[in-house]
Structure 1
Amino acid sequence: MKKKAFKLLAKMNKMVLPSFTKQGLDLSKASKLQMAVFGWKLYVTKNALD
C-alpha cells in the first residue's frame, strides 16, 4: 500500500513540479525553495522504488 501511494505521488510530482535537471540548475546556486522541491522529489522517488 505504501509503495503504491509513493508511486502515485511520483507521477503527480512529475506533472506538477518543475524538473531542475532539465533546466540545468546548479544545486550549489539553488534557492532554499528549489532545494526543498528537489529534496521532496528525491524522497518520493526513493520510496517509490524501494
Structure 2
Amino acid sequence: MKRSWFKFLATINKAVLPSFTKRRLDLAKAKKWQMAIFGWKLYVTKRALD
C-alpha cells in the first residue's frame, strides 16, 4: 500500500513540479524553495523504489 502511494505521488510530481536537472540548475546556487522541491522529489522517488 505504502509503495503504491509513493508511486502515485511520483507520477504527480513528474507531471506538476519542474525538473531542475533538465534546466541544469546548480544546486550550490539554488534558492531555498528550489532545494525544498528537489528534496521532496528525491524523497518520494526513493520511497517509490524501495
TM-score (norm: length of structure 2):
1.00
Percent of pairs with identical residues: 72
Equivalent residue, structure 2, for 1:39:
39
- Amino acid across the alignment from 2:44: V
Normalising by structure 1, report the TM-score: 1.00
User: Once superposed, which parts of structure 1, at least 4 consecutive aligned residues long, lie more than 3 Å away?
Assistant: none
Gaps of 5+ in 1: none
TM-superposition CA deviations, 1:1-50 (whole Å, max 9, x none): 00000000000000000000000000000000000000000000000000
Give the unaligned 5+ runs of structure 2. Answer: none
Aligned length: 50
Structure showing the higher helix proportion among its residues: 1
